Amino acid sequence: MGFSLENFEYLAYSRQHEAAARELMDLLSGLDSNYGLPGENFSAKPLSSVLPNELNDHVVTRIAAAISCLFADSEFQFSQIGFGQMLLMHRWLSGLFAASPFRNADHVVRAWNIRGKGNLREVEIGNRDLVKFCLLYSPESEIPMDLDAFWAHDKVLVASLCLALLSPRLLATPVAYEKREQILPWLSQRLEQIDDLAQLPAGILHDVYMHCSYARRADKHDIKKPINALLGRSIAKAGLTPLNTPIRLDGKDKPVLLVVVEWFSAAHSIYRTHSRTLEAARELFHVVGMGYGKTVDDAGRAVFDEFVEIGAGEIQQQLAQIRGVAEAKAAQILYMPSVGMFALTMFLSNLRIAPVQAMALGHPATSHSQEMDYVVVEDDYVGDPACFSEQLLRLPGDGMPYRASALADELDLPGHIREEPEVVQIVVASTTMKLNPDFLLACQRILREAKSKIHFHFLIGQAQGMLIYPQVKRVIGQYLGDAATVYPHQHYSAYMQVIAGCDMFINPFPFGNTNGIIDTVSAGLVGVCKTGPEVHEHIDQGLFGRLKFPQWLVTPTVDDYVKATIRLADEHALRNQLRRELTGVDAVQTIFRGRPEIMGQMLLEALKSKAP
């Protein structure tokens, strides 16, 4: 069917509640399945007087206004099933208001405030409207909320709301970012008190699991502990018992290394970073891959001795299939290149199906799971080992050589260096998740304190559609004004052309870059990073070291980061010398050279150490 704005307005304003809610769910589901793009079946007819540059604001405002009218109606209520379905779409409902001039839906809450008088500093919501409040209370909301009182009243409802608030990819404004900082420790201490995973919006749990890494606080990954407890209970309830596979090292057959992948296609970064070590592991192991048919292409399947496609169905059915393969093949090691991008790996990290269970850092963070024994990581990527609950299997710096992107071979980039540019062009390669007020404030300081005139170029992955890109553009503009150009998500060749036209780069923090460093250095740029104890902020330091960048470009504090960036921007001769000596396609070859066989050797030693 698709979504028609005009039909939705008609239904909302004429108080046809059920039909309007169905139309709204069509819109939200379309946004969710298309990464924020409205989809082919989206229909809206703007007024003839609306200019092209006003079109997005016009359409989004009309949608938000109709939603406001629908929700403000006291007769509009949700069934338990309807609320559960809508809560899974909370980020898109919030995004519609955030992308509009409303910014949030706090104005609608006035309709439910028992205390009345339009006062949003003292809000009291009756039981009848609490569900609607939870759906419209967003990361951008400025209404203070007493979480403890809410928990005492209905712990399942407030836990569900908090999970929804933690799930979005984009939390870049001060209000949204600080809300996450406050909720994370509070919920981490209480979530395990929920009896059953089925009571919560389980469909967004892996987003909370993964996106907590982009927070500032040191204990940000603690939220995984109660999530793991809930997952463990769910697995046990489904009758999926742990396997007690004996270790077999008789030398007759290669031990089985069972590898469960999320994304593993030639165009994906996980394939580029982890495929060579898996290929090399076949010398010592019989390597069996498992993954979804739609996320593993022919190149990904060819990495393994054999590949088993994970069937469609519920998570518990898929876990049962993986467990069955592990049992039938007497898998000695379970290995996951990444954990948390899909719900499946998050569940699987809490089920014992092999004597040794290891993960790599496709998403660079601990699992906090008692069933994961090892993290495979390059030694120069490790900051503080205490950040991990797992034992570290530390490869040497050349122990996980990457595979170069096939797209890079097709590029013909200009190698021109501007000796003394009037405006220093600084590129930031990032994704929406990595944007935050701390980093943007540092950019603002650089802009104000540098002697040179600065212009930033933000290349933001996932910044697309009528909701995400406008929000990204606005929040960056609030800090940097006209001194920043914000690009929507674009094709690799266009992205690389922008990079090649700049003079230097800076990495976001606290969550830095891997592939972004390869791209910028390949294009002939030097840059600045901020390091720290977590792997996702220490990887930058490791890569800068491999590229032989001077140590002052790796900064431990925000002040040092700002000073180093200003120095690199202002000292043209120094910057250009570093570019000539340390960058280009040849310079990054060190990242693609190495000893991929070491991972298999270390995994085998880990298995031997467990043998009786």
> 3-state secondary structure string, 526-547?
CEEEECCCCHHHHHHHHHHHHC
Q: Average pLDDT, whole number, for the chain?
A: 96
Going by the DSSP 8-state scheme, the letter that residue 296 receives in this structure is B
**Six-digit token pair at 483?**
């001194």
CB atoms within 10 A of CB 11: 21
> Residue 309 burial (CB < 10 Å; 0-12/13-18/19+)?
middle
Angstrom distance (rounded) from CA 92 to CA 274: 33
pLDDT reported for residue 312 = 95
**Which residue type does 216 have?**
R
- Inform me whether the pLDDT recorded for 574 exceeds 90: yes
- What Å distances lie between residue 410 and 194, 267, 488, 588, CA to CA? 52, 14, 22, 16
Angstrom distance (rounded) from CA 115 to CA 212: 35
Residue owning tokens 């997952």:
231
Closest Cα to residue 129, out of 109, 158, 149, 103?
109
Is the CATH number of domain 256-401+595-610 3.40.50.11380? yes
**Six-digit token pair at 188?**
């981490």
The confidence band for 1, taking pLDDT boundaries of 50, 70 and 90, is low
CB atoms within 10 A of CB 24: 23
pLDDT digits (tens, 9 = 90+) for 394-448: 999 999 999 988 777 777 777 789 999 999 999 999 999 999 999 999 999 999 9
**Six-digit token pair at 221?**
């990954």
> Residue 31 burial (CB < 10 Å; 0-12/13-18/19+)?
buried
User: Does residue 456 sit in helix, strand or coil?
Assistant: strand
- Inform me whether the pLDDT recorded for 78 exceeds 80: yes
**Six-digit token pair at 203?**
């469909």
Tell me, yes or no, if the two domains 256-401+595-610 and 411-592 fold the same way. yes
The full set of domain ranges for the chain reads: 5-223, 256-401+595-610, 411-592
pLDDT digits (tens, 9 = 90+) for 303-353: 999 999 999 999 999 999 999 999 999 999 999 999 999 999 999 999 999
Angstrom distance (rounded) from CA 558 to CA 441: 10
Q: Each residue of 166-187: b (16+ CB within 10 Å) or e?
A: bbbbbbbbeebbebbeebbeeb
pLDDT reported for residue 118 = 77
pLDDT digits (tens, 9 = 90+) for 155-168: 999 999 999 999 99
**Which residue type does 198 have?**
A
Closest Cα to residue 154, out of 185, 180, 128, 120?
128
The confidence band for 2, taking pLDDT boundaries of 50, 70 and 90, is confident
**Six-digit token pair at 274?**
């982890």
- Inform me whether the pLDDT recorded for 16 exceeds 70: yes
CA end-to-end distance (rounded Å), the chain: 61
For residue 144, the Cα-to-chain-centroid distance in whole angstroms is 27
- The sign of the torsion formed by the CA atoms of 196, 202, 206, 212 equals negative
**Six-digit token pair at 397?**
């710096």
Angstrom distance (rounded) from CA 305 to CA 287: 5
**Six-digit token pair at 359?**
């993960």
pLDDT reported for residue 413 = 79
Angstrom distance (rounded) from CA 230 to CA 80: 21
pLDDT digits (tens, 9 = 90+) for 535-567: 999 999 999 999 999 999 999 999 999 999 999
- Inform me whether the pLDDT recorded for 231 exceeds 80: yes
Q: Give mean pLDDT, residues 78-105.
A: 97
Task: Name the region of 358 (left: φ>0; alpha: ψ -120 to 50; beta: rest).
Answer: beta
- Inform me whether the pLDDT recorded for 235 exceeds 90: yes
**Six-digit token pair at 461?**
């992955």
Closest Cα to residue 587, out of 415, 378, 428?
415
Please report, rounded to a whole number, the percentage of residues in the chain having pLDDT higher than 90: 93
Residue owning tokens 């990444």:
338
Angstrom distance (rounded) from CA 192 to CA 508: 33
**Six-digit token pair at 553?**
């470009």
Please report, rounded to a whole number, the percentage of residues in the chain having pLDDT higher than 70: 100
pLDDT digits (tens, 9 = 90+) for 263-281: 999 989 999 999 999 999 9
pLDDT reported for residue 317 = 98
- Inform me whether the pLDDT recorded for 148 exceeds 80: yes
Is the pTM above the cut of 0.75?
A: yes
Backbone φ and ψ for 325, nearest 5 degrees, come out as -65, -45
pLDDT digits (tens, 9 = 90+) for 343-386: 999 999 999 999 999 999 999 999 999 999 999 999 999 999 99
- Inform me whether the pLDDT recorded for 503 exceeds 80: yes
**Which residue type does 526 have?**
V
State the architecture of 411-592 in CATH terms.
3-Layer(aba) Sandwich (3.40)
User: Does residue 392 sit in helix, strand or coil?
Assistant: strand
pLDDT reported for residue 430 = 97
Q: Give mean pLDDT, residues 2-24.
A: 97
